[in-house]
Amino acid sequence: MPARPTVSAVLIVKDEEAVLDDCLAALSWADEVVVYDTGSTDRTREIARRHTDLVVDGYWDDDFGAARDRALAHATGDWVLSVDADEVVAGDPEAFRASLGRDGGVAHTVLIRNLGAGPALPLGLGAADTVLAGSRVFRRELHTWVGRLHEQPVLRATGRPADAQRPAAGIELRHSGYRPEVVAEKDKGRRNVELAREQVEAARGAGDPVALELHRVDLARSLEMAGDHAAALAEADALAAAGLASPRHAVLLARSVHLAAVALGDAAAADRWLDLWERSDDNPAFALAARAQVLAERGDAAGALAAVERIPTTTVNAYGERVDRASLVTTELWAHVVTGDRRRAVLAALAAIGHGVAPGATAGLQRLLTEDECRRLLAAMPDAMWRQYVTWCAMDATVEARTFLGWMRDVRPGDPAVLAGAAHLAPTMSLEEAAGWSAHLRGTGQAEACPLVLIARDPLAHPRQRAVAGALAYSAYGDERGLAGLEDALAHVDPADEAEVLAELQIVAPGLVGAAV
């Protein structure tokens, strides 16, 4: 091997114009990029050719392994990194390159982060990411692909995967394709079930028990992804009853099928599969993390907390998959509050912040913690997380979000991000809120972002709201923009409401109405 091994990034694609540009842009460090197109009808090939000269007009024959092998034939690098179009490489490519082939290895796993593919989290943070290790990195000349579905690289000499695949360092693949909306749009579930059934029948006909078990695991996982939870659970239970020969197969199956049991409301089945996962995995922390989420969804705070507390601060299994206790902070915080230990709830949140993990969405934190407790968390946040919370507040536009933004203003007076967020939220503010934020913004030299003026000049706001906001801006600050907004708003007041609006204006800005009209 040369001192600096060459890397070929290899993809098979079809109709991926929505995601391909980001994928290929993140591969600019690779020595070559091979894009094998299986019949796109959109702009996929055009986008690919902007990034690489190795764009192959290929074909599709319902066999992922065969398509990847045809793509592999066009690669020339020492090592292959297999990437899907809906994946983006993130991390340090040079650290990745330096880790290739260490200790004589000829293949490596790489971490695949499935974005938003996990269960919904407490505290309103939406779906969790799931992280799995996949066999995606291997010596080109030694490997070929097998498997119509859930394909994998195997050694040409043995037809089996390379032994003891160490995780590659430096990078992970961030995969968006298993988000529920993407799966539904592409009908991935139905396609995968059909391919899995064909593989099961082929393995059964060949009398290969190892392949048959693997493909039945693939079938159960595909049924779960397709939303056929009952069929997935039935297939998995049949496999378990027959006895799973491979602990890794048991782990892969349990990771998927316990979710089918949860969807069916079958708590006993979910617990049974979580138990099997914990017994079969070389590191029980991953099963414990899933158990904590399941128990939290049931409202079992004590059970969820017991599972979380068995998880180390950080742990990594033999495949390079990692779980950090901080990633479960929303569950841990919620469970501590529900079980009456607010002090430990705040400490758990502070520990997560120290690890760069957001402790929960704004509304969720407000529901569980006091104002002082929230301020304590805000005071501990690094700048990047602080800006993330400002963005969440600005996007939320609820009373709770605006209240939270007000606490942020008090923790960091004059913070530019908070002030910009307040200006963005001006159209959603009550007049009382707008008056308070206007005083603060003007006190920091941000008169151009005064919410009272912004409301007064907003043609989409209610004329009464505009008129009162303009009157307040002019009477309190002498801002001519407020007066102009007031005049325009009065021209749009419904005649039936005119007397009431004029009376209100006389209260908030005595004598001003005559000047405006």
Question: CA 517, CA 512: separation in Å to the nearest integer?
Answer: 9
Maximum Cα–Cα distance across the chain: 94
| Distances, alpha carbon 232 to alpha carbons 79, 259, 297, in Å | 36, 10, 21
The phi and psi torsions of 442 (rounded to 5 degrees) equal -65, -35
Write down the pLDDT at residue 512: 82
Q: Tell me, rounded to whole angstroms, the distance of Cα 515 from its chain centroid.
A: 55
Mean pLDDT, the chain, whole residue set: 90
Q: Over the stretch 3-55, which tens digit does the pLDDT of each residue have?
A: 689 999 999 999 999 999 999 999 999 999 999 999 999 999 999 999 999 99
Share of the chain above pLDDT 70, in %: 93
How many residues belong to the chain?
A: 517
Question: CA 304, CA 397: separation in Å to the nearest integer?
Answer: 32
Share of the chain above pLDDT 90, in %: 70
Residue identified by tokens 């968390």 is: 377
- Class of residue 64 by CB neighbours under 10 A (exposed 0-12, middle 13-18, buried 19+): buried
Question: CA 128, CA 115: separation in Å to the nearest integer?
Answer: 7
Question: CA 215, CA 468: separation in Å to the nearest integer?
Answer: 69
Confidence of residue 164 (pLDDT cuts 50, 70, 90): low
- Class of residue 159 by CB neighbours under 10 A (exposed 0-12, middle 13-18, buried 19+): exposed
The 10 Å Cβ neighbour count of residue 130 is 20
Residue type, 480: E
Q: Over the stretch 261-315, which tens digit does the pLDDT of each residue have?
A: 999 999 999 999 999 999 999 999 999 999 999 999 999 999 999 999 999 999 9
Question: CA 47, CA 39: separation in Å to the nearest integer?
Answer: 14
Q: Over the stretch 419-475, which tens digit does the pLDDT of each residue have?
A: 999 998 888 889 999 999 999 999 999 999 999 999 999 988 889 999 999 999 999
Write down the pLDDT at residue 516: 46
Question: All domains of the chain, ordered by start, with CATH?
Answer: 7-182 (3.90.550.10)
Write down the pLDDT at residue 318: 80
